[in-house]
Chains A and B, each alone.
Chain A
Amino acid sequence: MPISSIASADGQELTISIQGRFDFGAHQEFRDAYEKVAVTPKSYVIDMKGATYLDSSALGMLLLLRDHAGGDNARIRLLNCNSDVRKILSISNFEQLFQIG
């Protein structure tokens, strides 16, 4: 499964891992990864270690998660981005909305 999510032991943080291409094809799966979970996390981690590619609809999906997680109050970190992914995030200046590490 290209997208999986796992909550921390205390349920405060949800880690969503992306594998392969992160594009419109992953839309439903990505939503399920944070909507169909039993916990209500305070913060989110998107682990991009396995993500090879990201397109503008993936940026849209990240915005949907941000909205779901409280909009301007959302705490979302994007971790392990490769240089291509990081470049796309930076052209769109998404570091203003997400913590990118």
Chain B
Amino acid sequence: MSEACTVLIAEDNAADRLLLSTIVSKQGHRVLVAGNGAEAVELFQQERPQLVLMDALMPVMDGFEATRQIKQLAGDELVPVIFLTSLSETEALVRALDAGGDDFLSKPYNKVILQAKLGAMLRMRALHSTVLQQRDLIVKHNEHLLTEQRVAKAVFDRIAHAGCLHAPNIRYLQSPFALFNGDLLLAAFTPSGGMNIFLGDFTGHGLPAAVGAMPLAEVFYGMTAKGFSIADVLREMNQKLKRILPVGVFCCATLLHLNLHQRVLEVWNGGLPAGVLRRKRDGTQHALISRNLPLGIVEAERFNDHCEVFAIEEGDRILLWSDGVPECSNVQGEMFGEERLRELIAASRHENLYDSVRDGLQAFSGEQQDDMSLVEIAVVDEASLPRQSMPVSGSTKQSPLDWSASFDFRASTLQAFNPLPFLMQWLLEVQELRPLAGTLHTILTEVFSNALEHGVLGLDSALKADANGFAAYYHERQQRLEQLKEGWVRLSFDHRPDQQGGALTIRVSDSGGGIPQHVLQMNTPSTPFSGRGLRLLHELADQCWREEGDGSLNIRVRWQHE
């Protein structure tokens, strides 16, 4: 038996009214009675009964109009109206339904049928109210979820936008909520004026896909700012994700390093679709193929941080995208597909690469889809990029101004360790050197790789005469480094205060006898792919000379009091 409720009976015939009231109240329900439609509407407003028995033909206001008004007053709530009728004409029954009636009861009234109909209507009402409650609950949950996502995104944006996605040579397409689709795009300047760009795609959707993004962004920005190599950044990212993510959740990613001085692109791709490096000069394309497992799957010992190296020139463009691009679909449910994308890229004019792909995607799918990331990076002259200088710390701590230190890095250390970030950190303890951080990092990078590659590994930069030789050079570098048994690089630093400010002298020597005098004097690059480094030293340093005795290279950088 259904729960007791209030039933409104609208009936102009007093005898019928009494009969119905008796049957209904015997079932345990409370009864309200009205003699016409207008009274019924008024009573409904006052008492909000849960069910109405409505005579069709009544004086003042008939049952059809009264039903319309009651249904309107009830709003979302289901108040079943059962028409009491001797009408048998089809037209009148249709009018009753049109007015919002839910059922009929024919005269003469049968007690058993009335009871059964009341029960059925009240069950329907209960079901309806459950549906309403659940609908409201879902709406509430959804609002809650969106609020949480907004907060999470706001927090995340503070971290993610610490970088240089706004740089003039980067263009990208990404839904504002891509984070919750697992897509992550990060870009930052390296201290020496290059750029690191990361595009990642976590497995899954929603919160589980977003949780790994925060630690990745922290590692990326923290280590890039300190000048770590992308191999170092990748190892740290992999290890961190392996530690925090459950088995089965991982991040497909591409990490790029653009060295704009040396015009070198380093690429590591683990699991993302192969991006494209397109040459301005002749339009040739190189696929940036995935050669590694995604991040967060294997232990540190098995992780492969080896990057591919490409020579780049001003005007070259790099295009990366996530799975969402080939997987985006049109209204017919057809996927854009990898083939169509590659054709679109191949057919587009060089300077319109990004626009063609974006427009092609939009023309195909009609609107921007949520889960795609597309980014283009143009190789530009470093001078055209804004360069952030390191903030001078506000602490009143005294800088160390009068000191010297010397480091020897021997074979096994040279194989596996990049000392520059640590040396930089130490040098920048001299607060006055902080505005020169980029310059110092560039100088150290140049002299260290010069000493390692030519002095210790005995590589000949003449090899870098063309693009093929360039690749061969880096292959050879890798091989010789792996087999290195002996050799050393010595970096000595000497900082002294003077009348105007101070001067830092960096002295580099190596087991190969240092840099030959004639090489140092070369002021112009010998080929498009080599020789830039040394010219750069002359430009950046206040003084640059070779010591005859040990062949060491000496670079002096000065700073002045404000």
Contact = CB atoms under 8 A, between A and B. Distances in A.
Interface string A87-101: 000011110110000
B271 A91 contact: yes
B291 interface: yes
Interface string B260-294: 00000000001111100000000000000011111
B188 to A, nearest CB: 26
A11 interface: no
A64 interface: yes
Interface in B245-271: 247-250, 252, 270-271
Interface stretch (A34-42, A43-51, A55-63): A55-63
Given A60-B250, A64-B247, A96 B204 contact: no
Contacts of B247: 60, 63-64, 67
B323 interface: yes
A26 to B, nearest CB: 13
The SS class assigned to the A binding surface is: helix
B206 to A, nearest CB: 11
B249 A96 contact: no
Of the candidates A24, A59, A72, A93, the one having the most CB atoms from chain B within 10 angstroms of its own CB is: A93
B293 A96 contact: yes
Contacts of B297: 63, 97
Interface string A56-86: 1101110110010000100000000000000
B27 interface: no
B418 interface: no
A93 B302 CA distance: 13
B203 interface: yes
A3 to B, nearest CB: 16
A94 B271 CA distance: 9
Given A56-B323, A92-B271, A97 B293 contact: yes
A72 B270 CA distance: 19
A56 B203 contact: yes
Contacts of B291: 93
The SS class assigned to the B binding surface is: loop
A72 B298 CA distance: 9
Nearest to B182: A56
Contact of A63 (B250, B270, B292): B250
Interface residues of B, number: 22
A64 B252 CA distance: 17
Interface in B481-521: none
Interface in B284-336: 290-294, 297-298, 302, 323
B204 A93 contact: no
B248 A93 contact: no
Contacts of B248: 57, 60-61, 63-64, 67
Contacts of A94: 293
A63 B527 CA distance: 48
B203 A92 contact: no
Contacts of B249: 60
B300 to A, nearest CB: 13
A96 B293 CA distance: 8
Nearest to B270: A93
Contacts of B201: 56
Given A63-B247, A67-B247, A92 B293 contact: yes
Interface in A11-35: 24
Of the candidates B248, B274, B291, B297, the one having the most CB atoms from chain A within 10 angstroms of its own CB is: B248
A55 B232 CA distance: 29
Given A67-B247, A92-B290, A92-B293, A59 B270 contact: no
Contacts of A92: 252, 270-271, 290, 293-294
A91 B290 contact: yes
8 closest pairs, A vs B, by CB? A60-B248, A92-B271, A56-B203, A67-B247, A64-B248, A63-B248, A60-B203, A93-B293
19 contacts: A24-B204, A56-B252, A57-B203, A60-B203, A60-B204, A60-B247, A60-B249, A61-B248, A63-B248, A67-B247, A91-B272, A91-B273, A92-B252, A92-B270, A92-B290, A92-B293, A93-B292, A96-B293, A96-B298
Given A91-B271, A91-B273, A93-B292, 15 more contacts: A24-B204, A59-B250, A60-B203, A60-B248, A60-B249, A61-B248, A63-B297, A64-B248, A67-B247, A92-B270, A92-B290, A92-B294, A93-B271, A94-B293, A96-B293
